[in-house]
Amino acid sequence: MIIVLGEILVDLFDNYQRIGGAPFNFAFHLQQLGFSVRFLTRIGDDPQGREIGKLLSRHHFDLDDVQVDEVHPTGTVRVVLDDHGVPRFDIREDVAYDYIDFEALTPIHGPDTRMIYFGTLAQRSDLAFERFDRLLSRKGPSTTAFCDLNLRPPHVRDDVIAASLDCADILKLNTDELHHVGVLSGGPSQEEALIAHLMRTHQIEMVILTRGSNGSTLFTETQRFDASPPPTGNVLDTVGAGDAFASVMAAGYLSSMPLDRALTAASCFAGQICELPGAIPDDPSIYARLRKKMEGFMHD
């Protein structure tokens, strides 16, 4: 079982809207790949929340893990794309996912919980930070914590980042986020030395660094793997590409796939998502192709 914590929201583009949020995107991809997933989130009692509920039900998520907030609205994000499809986000504050009450949900810790995924956006308030911290502190030694920082200024708290690094077994971040973390930690300025410093200081097993058009790199204590970005066709937008990348890395890790092959597969899948509007594909055949590529390793 993979436990995913955090936001689901509505991305508002100029001419259309799509349901998204990094944790939801991650959970959706993994479920489509055949993994058992619990997605713990909170939506508003409003038309957008009801639309989200229908989508989650249609894709067989357990709605008992989806809290409905009668006071706070469903999260929304205004997305503005530049000429290269790179988004700028205006994220609404004080929304339903800021109030996820994990204590009111079925307990998640157990021998069948193989991975817990979390980010930082849904921890932006004092209350949410406290609730996440309490839940994550109970993680057992057989459960891998996958942290995708996903820093979205101005919704960035250094205390949340520090606590998230302390909890992480696998850390995914991009080059801008690495720079921020480096300044915060007081580590060395050179990239590889900084990553080694973070892994040693926070006892992190693996760091995955995404570099946009320059590809990606995976670090373990003793190994480094690099992947070039795949050739892409018409890039519509890059929304959700990092979440797609993260989901395939998680699938590869849990399936004991060779890390270099998982990194290449993750990069290719992220490139395919860039050719689609929004973060979630309408055509499920994209997953069939990915499962075939990972055949022989995929299992839950």
- What pLDDT does residue 236 have? 63
pLDDT band with cut points at 50, 70 and 90 for residue 300: very low
- What pLDDT does residue 118 have? 97
Residue-wise pLDDT tens digits, 138-191: 998 899 999 999 898 899 999 999 999 999 999 999 999 999 999 988 889 899
Q: Render 45-88 in DSSP notation, one character per residue.
A: SSHHHHHHHHHHHHTT--GGGEEEESSSPPEEEEEEE-TTS-EE
**What are the domain boundaries of the chain?**
2-168+219-293
CA distances from 57 to 26, 50, 65, 78, 286 (A): 17, 10, 11, 25, 21
Region 118-143: what's the mean pLDDT? 94
Cα separation, 164 vs 156, in Å, equals: 12
Whether pTM > 0.85 for this model: the answer is yes
Region 121-135: what's the mean pLDDT? 95
Residue-wise pLDDT tens digits, 206-245: 999 998 878 899 999 999 999 887 766 676 666 678 899 9
2-168+219-293 has which fold?
UDP-N-acetylmuramoyl-L-alanine:D-glutamate ligase (3.40.1190)
User: Is 85 a residue whose pLDDT tops 80?
Assistant: no
Cα separation, 123 vs 13, in Å, equals: 25
Q: Identify the CA nearest to 177 among candidates 246, 115, 226.
A: 246
- What pLDDT does residue 277 have? 64
Residue-wise pLDDT tens digits, 7-64: 999 988 877 788 889 999 999 999 999 999 999 999 999 999 999 999 999 999 999 9
Three-state secondary structure call for residue 183: helix
Q: Identify the CA nearest to 73 among candidates 57, 91, 93.
A: 93
